[in-house]
Amino acid sequence: MTIQSHDKLLLTGAAGGLGKALRERLKANCKVLRLSDIQAFGEAGPAEEIMLADLADAAAVDAMVRGVDAIVHLGGVSVEGPFHPILQANILGMYNLYEAARKHGVRRVVFASSNHVTGFYRQGETINASHPPRPDGFYGLSKAFGEDLSRFYFDRYGIETACVRIGSSFPEPRDRRMLATWLSYDDLHRLITACLTTPVLSHSIIFGMSNNAVTWWDNSQANHVGFKAQDSSDVFREAVYARTSAPDLSDPAVQFQGGGFVKAGPFSD
């Protein structure tokens, strides 16, 4: 069940893959959904507003945040790559977003962090939110920064944040690794809804995954969020095995949880 918990909810990264998947679903969580991205993506529909903004532009971010009650923050560079674009969108962008949230009294944020914060743990290990970050690149580092920054804004200003370390959120798992990391769009929406509605969120780290039989992540420290995954990658297992070859255990992409990200680069700006 989705509770309409907020008057005006801001969704950043609305033009992206997850933004498009969540646009209709999140309308049930609020009276008005404000959609933002750096790139144009069409007209506002009923009960929607569109405000384009570059996350690196403090004034634009301030205007984007003014008047909203809560934020689902998906915007930014979403893959490994050169440092400077990541610095602008994911690091400076997070600072701009939380400064605007502080100034305008926003009390709760759901931050799309990533499994790449801990991508250098091995696929044979089970980790929880207390394991130290082991980012697998500049992208994972930027998400680790976002988690730390949001913790500071909670400790200092009381802004609650759920750092959702999303695994792989696509219509279906694309390879054998994603049988462990897959998060369905419906489960992602359930997870965000839980983060928006749980009475006390505090600063929480939660791995974003469906109810997959194979898992590397233990969410027992996030029971207070109240998320129960209802989908599972298991229904895709046979098809994924049929179209993929047996893993090469000497390949770092198979050894580490971050998959191919762990061997991306080096990049020059």
Q: Annotated catalytic, 121?
A: no
Q: Which amino acid is at 131?
A: H
Are the CB atoms for 99 and 151 separated by under 8 Å?
Answer: no
Q: By C-beta, is 15 or 195 nearer to ligand NAI? A: 15
Among candidate residues 121, 139, 153, 185, the one labeled active-site is 139
Among 12, 36, 96, 114, binds ligand 15L (CB under 6 A): 114
Which residues, in sequence order, are CB contacts of 252 under 8 Å at separation 6+?
262, 263
Size of the site for ligand 15L (CB under 6 A): 8
Q: Is 47 in the site for ligand 15L (CB under 6 A)?
A: no
**2 vs 31, 191, 193, CA distance in Å?**
13, 11, 7
Rounded to the nearest 10°, the torsion over CA 83, 97, 73, 40 is -80
Q: Which of residues 158-177 bind ligand NAI (CB under 6 A)?
A: 166, 168-169
The listed partner (ligand 15L, ligand NAI, none) that binds 146, CB under 5 to 8 Å by sort, is none
Q: By C-beta, is 96 or 114 nearer to ligand 15L? A: 114
- What φ, ψ does residue 179 adopt, rounded to 5°? -65, -30
Candidates 85-93, 96-104, 226-234, 242-250: pick the segment binding ligand NAI (CB under 6 A): 85-93
Are the CB atoms for 119 and 111 separated by under 8 Å?
Answer: no
The listed partner (ligand 15L, ligand NAI, none) that binds 77, CB under 5 to 8 Å by sort, is ligand NAI
Scored b (16 or more CB within 10 A) or e, 10-45 reads: bbbbbbbebbebbbebbbebbebbbbbbbeeeeeee
Q: Which of residues 48-67 bind ligand NAI (CB under 6 A)?
A: 54-56
- Known catalytic residues are 139
Residues lying near ligand 15L in the complex (CB under 6 A) are found at: 78-79, 114-116, 168, 181, 259
